[in-house]
Structure 1
Amino acid sequence: MQEIEEGMFLWEPSETWKQQSNMVKYLDWLHKNKELVFNRYKDLWQWSVTEIETFWESLWQYFNISYSAPYVKVLTERKMPGALWFAGARLNYAEHIFRHQPDEKVAVIAKSEVRPQLQKLTWKELYEQTAVFAAALKNYGVKPGDRVVGFLPNIPETIIAFLACASIGAVWSCCSPDFGSAAVVDRFKQIEPKLLISADGYRYRGKDYQRIPSVQEIQKAIPSIENTIILPYIAKSPDIHELKNTVIWDTLLERQKNKNVIRFEQVAFDHPLWILYSSGTTGLPKAIVQGHGGILLEHLKQCHLQMNITKKDRFFWYTSTGWMMWNFLVSGLLTGGSIVLYDGHPGYPENDFMWTFAEETGITFFGTSAAYLHSCMNTGMRPKDACQLNKLKSIGSTGAPLSPEAFAWVYRHVKEDIWLSSLSGGTDICSAFVGGSPLLAVHAGEIQCRHLGASVKVFDESGKEIIDAVGELVVTEPMPSMPLYFWNDQNNKRYKSSYFETYSDVWRHGDLIKIKTNGSLSIYGRSDSTINRGGIRIGTSELYRAAANITGIEDCLAVDLTDRNNKGMLLLFVVLHHGVPFTKTLEEEIKQCIRENCSPRHQPDRIFQISEVPQTLNGKKLEVPVKKLLMGVPLEKAVNDGSMKNPKCLDFFIELKNQLSI
């Protein structure tokens, strides 16, 4: 098999593809309406981050934003934090979801382990059910600005509840039902919700998990919750007699069944739309507030221009409601296309289930995590041999860097003629700073470009911009979907310390990145878990890529305990496939592979076998909290175990700290 090198050419769009893309339509519009001509995507991007007021105003005009009051000025005070966008404008995000959509066209396609038969909601059905739920919320006294929270799986009812909430100007927030009650309380208690909507449980890998006891705990812990709505999901008649002020979903809607018109509340551009949360690996999760107008413009840009989704597409992302990609997926409805939902384990009942699901539903844009694609590659999966993926045009990957080998696996074993884009951004903006463009070629291990309006640069440790070298990902100009604020964050103290503590007036995102002279990028992991050995810095993803080449390794975690005086050690923790023994021979093979593929400086000092890698509820590796544990930080200060998928596995690292005597 050909060796895969970063930057190896894999695919380029045809002229027909480019000319039919939404990006070219936007370029044509700029030429016709603004007398602006850009021959390269790189030039368009440069204009978008230089003339930022003109760029964002062009999107307002190009997408024909509906409003009840016009804006006075595009941008008041061009600074971070503190930028005020489109002051004076009044609009509604949910109104843009429903405008101009044909009644009988399918809007939502859904399937789950609980509901194995495909569900389809037309635009008319989605509108009418949203109208009924909006009326129910108003009947409960929910007003603009009130918080409504969901403890719900990725199913159509969750979308209906969110859109109803947005339509009346209430503020939405959601946790996936696989969150423990303590993690839910950590999030929701901060924002003092008025109403809770919860499923009675969920099913994962064939096993049912009850959530009524958790709802009871949440009600007791959050006194601001006045009423609760229970959605029967795993049971037809869930027992709610011990819950206070609680009604069943269908009973509630029956009372409002004749309310089939939505009156969209007109709110300010910066009126809160939803509250998302940081992973909360240390301390309480940050409650990140984003607005109707900022999310609307950003997601129109992303879905239409960067991801090239049209009204003919079926857009899917494998996600839970606890990850920002769920919010992003819902915004796929802004294109007039259909969105596809799945609730359940991606490899149940068969390992290749998600690919057969893509075939069954006619998905055209398949979004997933880098971890899932790496898993498919490592298990030797070959979807193109088992599935007819004729309608599949694009694959999106996010959540972690995608290795060059995984890029190549997609083209070899999924589909040769496909646009694969790796994206990176975050909950912080509920979007991506960098990712794909339908006009550019795909190269192994590389992100195609910086997204329009995202002034992404690379700074070295002194704050100087660098090219073709690894440094900090920074953003030097404001964007409309940046957080309005963190909830209950006095004087923006946590907000400023999260992004603006390192470089004054410049957003430091916390990723280690390299921008190449041609405009493509590579991300090497979180910069606060950077491995610095003898002054040579690399990202943990480079070690993971090297280790992935070794037969028998399922997953791994790297932690560098080296201080500025080069004292300490580099530790590697490996998870092995079932039945593979951890031997001295395997240990030496790992070290040699890292010596050859990374550098001798980055060879691990010690390697340990572990049963599983510590992860957040959204599947991200906990490199920094593990590092803190090994450096003697108490568990309660190093990590919030309520934010973890597998907190018991931390016991190994606590015990190891006592053995290492660091």
Structure 2
Amino acid sequence: MKKLWEGTHQFKEESKLQDYCNWLDENHNLKFENYHELWKWSTDHIEDFWESIWHYFKIKSHSPYTKVLSSYNMPNCNWFEGSTLNYAEHIFRVAKSKQTAIHFSNESGVHLEISWGELEKKVSSMVAYFKSLSVTKGDRIVAFLPNVPEATIAFLAANALGAVWSSTSPDFGTESVVNRFAQIEPKVLIAVDGYKYNGKPYDKTATVKEIVAQLPSLKKVVVLPYLSTDALNNFSEDYYIDINSIFEMEGGHLEFQPVDFNHPIWVLYSSGTTGLPKAIVHSHGGILLEHYKYMAFHNDTKPGERYFWFTTTGWMMWNFLQSALLMGASIVLYDGSPTYPKFDALWSFSDKLQINHFGTSAPFLVANMKKKLDLKKEHNLSSIRSISSTGAPLPAEAFDYVYENIKTNVWLCSMAGGTDVCTAFVGGTPFSGVYSGEIQCRALGVSLHALDYKGIPVKDELGEMVIDKPMPSMPIYFWNDKDNSRYKASYFEDYPGKWRHGDFIKINSKTGGLVIYGRSDATLNRHGIRIGTSEIYSAVNKISAIEDALIINLELEEGKHYMPLFVKLKPNFELSEALKSDINQQLKIDYSPRHVPDDIIEVADIPYTISGKKMEAPIKKILLKMPIETSINLDAMRNPESVDFFIEFAKQI
């Protein structure tokens, strides 16, 4: 296993994680030789660990808790019962009035800086307006917005009141938005008139009106004029209000409504690929503790730093990004295409803003690799000290590419978690090295293991990712799931009392690192050998003619299997027999003959969800000739037209 990076002694000593270890030593006489020892203590002593997080970060509670954890019986467990707090209050307690809280840019070249003082004033005005609509604790406020400062302001205002937040991005279709928001019956909608992407304007006025017509619970619609300054002229004035007129109101002193630790903070949604999206509800306190822990110890985010993640408001990484404010860092927001007007747009953006923590997706880094961009020659990037990647497994060759072509001395933090917990189960640690193809560690307080087919924990072999102890940021419930039946079915059916996340992983006993091999429900069972889809993609990524690919393994009658590989080619290439041979040979060289598909088939496009996930499991259902309506939700897709090919192809199987 090739080591690509190790933090210097100074890097480790100055890390927030080392400060926490020093605190544990001074206050609890706890000493640890390495990260694994610390992780083991944090999972063997779950209650002690999370109570230490409470005290280390000096959580401000308006009433004391009676017990750290009510029960280890997931999902029927409550954390820090009796305590009352507010997430937004913890953000503003680190505010320094004249320092920048938010940097914002978009692909049209707009750049704004919002100071902590200005942020507080605008949040206060928004709180006053929400109060004028009789918004109170527990009411829902939803947003149909790009990744703009107004989204952060509205979230913080809703949160300060104890209202429940939910958001989607304006690239979602009407049905997809309504399928999410209608479940939670919002009182207020904040909506945009349109946006630009790849230089092209998208007017969303009609979409907003369609959404509003299907949300009878709404009392008011707040409009952000983003595409056009006179956007409000397209809406009836009595029902709609310009957000800028709210900011002109005097809000007075910003106050915070204390809520129960287990009070809802927001509602996130599953991809909705096979029906109505699950409305996942997290708690104020659980998210607060988890985000403090992860942002400080696994990202090492410090006051005054600039923290960027390329995301939309429809992805949980937007919610995660806000938590950098807890650390006294500035959040960096970007709206638009990551490759417009040039493919290296985000790296130019980083140079301009001197970003310290650069967050992106694995497909973005792979795309840079396939373009063979030598970014360290074209860009300075000296300010970047960490590059974080999530959204899909990052292949080993992309790890190598980062160090060879982006920056040699950067901390590459590959991480994986999900909407389900709004954080990462596995990610980075400043205490360990970065090895090619491996995520560095299991996160503190996450009792995660790889289980074999007998349910026994294993290392150095493929296993099912399972968490066997509670985490504070696990959902408190799904909306409208009164008996928790849908919640339990989603995570706890396969291993009673344990959370099955649906990924296959391998834990390295020597390094402590992990490799994720793709979704277990889309995993390839090839002649009794389980193959992660990421292995196929890792090899196929090396073929210069291929732009993207999708692998499916179908378990057919009489024990037969059929494993087709669908490939999207780059312009001016054709799927010749020679190219097929190159693909098969690469799979044999990198992995084994079992990795070679039964067929290689050209497609115009690969199906993706709006949030950027390959739709392996839904396409598998279509190819198994399950009903379309129960196999896939086209409105939750980025490119629904891509499914037509697979519907027709299924008829041939």
TM-score range, shorter chain: over 0.9
Write the deviation string for residues 23-77 of structure 1: whole angstroms up to 9, x where unpaired.
Answer: 0000000000011111111000000001010000000000000111111111111
Question: Would the aligned equivalents of 1:136 and 1:253 in 2 still touch at CA under 8 Å?
Answer: no
Q: Is residue 437 of structure 1 aligned with residue 429 of structure 2?
A: yes
Write the deviation string for residues 150-195 of structure 1: whole angstroms up to 9, x where unpaired.
Answer: 0000010100000000000000000000001110001000111111
Residue 522 of structure 1 corresponds to 515
Q: Which runs of 5+ in 1 are unaligned?
A: 1-6
Residue 112 of structure 1 corresponds to 106
Residue 538 of structure 1 corresponds to 531
Question: Would the aligned equivalents of 1:434 and 1:450 in 2 still touch at CA under 8 Å?
Answer: yes
SS of match in other structure, 2:38:
helix
Q: State the distance in 1 between where 2:252 and 2:640 align.
A: 46
**1:456 aligns with one of 448, 470, 475:** 448
Residue 600 of structure 1 corresponds to 593
Q: State the distance in 2 between where 1:563 and 1:485 align.
A: 37
Q: State the distance in 2 between where 1:437 and 1:79 align.
A: 29
Write the deviation string for residues 544-573 of structure 1: whole angstroms up to 9, x where unpaired.
Answer: 111111121111000001348540310100
What's the offset of the Cα at 1:224? 0.9
Percentage identity across paired residues of the two chains: 48
**1:127 aligns with one of 120, 123, 131:** 120
Q: Is residue 497 of structure 1 aligned with residue 478 of structure 2?
A: no
Q: Which amino acid aligns with 2:48?
A: T
Q: State the distance in 1 between where 2:142 and 2:94 align.
A: 29
SS of match in other structure, 1:490:
coil
Write the deviation string for residues 280-330 of structure 1: whole angstroms up to 9, x where unpaired.
Answer: 100110000001100000000000111100003110000000000000001
Question: Would the aligned equivalents of 1:216 and 1:243 in 2 still touch at CA under 8 Å?
Answer: no
Q: State the distance in 2 between where 1:117 and 1:259 align.
A: 27
Question: Would the aligned equivalents of 2:94 and 2:327 in 1 still touch at CA under 8 Å?
Answer: no
Q: Which amino acid aligns with 1:83?
A: C
Q: State the distance in 2 between where 1:242 and 1:580 align.
A: 52
What's the offset of the Cα at 1:252? 3.2
Question: Would the aligned equivalents of 2:467 and 2:498 in 1 still touch at CA under 8 Å?
Answer: yes
Q: State the distance in 2 between where 1:55 and 1:379 align.
A: 44
Residue 298 of structure 1 corresponds to 290
Q: Is residue 259 of structure 1 aligned with residue 259 of structure 2?
A: no
Residue 24 of structure 2 corresponds to 30
Map 1:263-412 to 2 at 5 A.
263-412=255-404
Residue 618 of structure 1 corresponds to 611
What's the offset of the Cα at 1:490? 2.7
- Name the TM-score, length of structure 2 as normaliser: 0.98
Write the deviation string for residues 116-172 of structure 1: whole angstroms up to 9, x where unpaired.
Answer: 132101111111111111111111111100000000000101000000000000000
Write the deviation string for residues 461-501 of structure 1: whole angstroms up to 9, x where unpaired.
Answer: 22111111101000010000000000001300110000001
SS of match in other structure, 1:512:
strand
**2:11 aligns with one of 6, 17, 23:** 17
Q: State the distance in 2 between where 1:614 and 1:242 align.
A: 38
Q: Which amino acid aligns with 1:593?
A: Q
Residue 152 of structure 1 corresponds to 145
SS of match in other structure, 1:385:
helix
**1:587 aligns with one of 577, 580, 597:** 580
Map 1:94-105 to 2 at 5 A.
94-105=88-99
Map 1:639-654 to 2 at 5 A.
639-654=632-647
What's the offset of the Cα at 1:389? 1.0
Residue 180 of structure 2 corresponds to 187
Residue 622 of structure 2 corresponds to 629
Closer/same/farther in 2, CA of residues 316 and 564 from structure 1, 3 Å limit: farther
What's the offset of the Cα at 1:245? 1.3
Residue 209 of structure 1 corresponds to 202
What's the offset of the Cα at 1:243? 7.7
Q: State the distance in 1 between where 2:68 and 2:17 align.
A: 23
Question: Would the aligned equivalents of 1:513 and 1:522 in 2 still touch at CA under 8 Å?
Answer: yes
Closer/same/farther in 2, CA of residues 400 and 241 from structure 1, 3 Å limit: closer
Q: Which amino acid aligns with 1:459?
A: L
Residue 478 of structure 2 corresponds to 486
Aligned-CA RMSD value: 1.1
Q: Is residue 248 of structure 1 aligned with residue 215 of structure 2?
A: no
SS of match in other structure, 1:659:
coil
Closer/same/farther in 2, CA of residues 331 and 151 from structure 1, 3 Å limit: same
Question: Would the aligned equivalents of 1:307 and 1:436 in 2 still touch at CA under 8 Å?
Answer: yes
Q: Is residue 467 of structure 1 aligned with residue 459 of structure 2?
A: yes
SS of match in other structure, 2:552:
strand
Q: State the distance in 1 between where 2:408 and 2:472 align.
A: 37
Residue 211 of structure 2 corresponds to 218
SS of match in other structure, 1:309:
coil
Question: Would the aligned equivalents of 1:134 and 1:165 in 2 still touch at CA under 8 Å?
Answer: yes
Q: State the distance in 2 between where 1:136 and 1:381 align.
A: 48
Closer/same/farther in 2, CA of residues 444 and 243 from structure 1, 3 Å limit: farther
SS of match in other structure, 2:555:
coil
**2:549 aligns with one of 530, 545, 556:** 556
SS of match in other structure, 2:54:
helix
SS of match in other structure, 2:53:
helix
Greater alpha carbon shift after TM alignment, 66-75 vs 159-168: 66-75
Residue 3 of structure 1 corresponds to none
What's the offset of the Cα at 1:517? 0.6
Question: Would the aligned equivalents of 1:240 and 1:246 in 2 still touch at CA under 8 Å?
Answer: no
Q: Is residue 166 of structure 1 aligned with residue 154 of structure 2?
A: no
What's the offset of the Cα at 1:640? 0.6
Question: Would the aligned equivalents of 1:534 and 1:566 in 2 still touch at CA under 8 Å?
Answer: no
Q: Which runs of 5+ in 2 are unaligned?
A: none
Residue 420 of structure 2 corresponds to 428
Q: Which amino acid aligns with 2:254?
A: I
Q: State the distance in 1 between where 2:650 and 2:473 align.
A: 41
**2:561 aligns with one of 568, 582, 585:** 568
Write the deviation string for residues 204-245 of structure 1: whole angstroms up to 9, x where unpaired.
Answer: 001111111111111111111121111100100113335871
Q: State the distance in 1 between where 2:453 and 2:226 align.
A: 51
Write the deviation string for residues 349-379 of structure 1: whole angstroms up to 9, x where unpaired.
Answer: 0010100100100101000000000000001
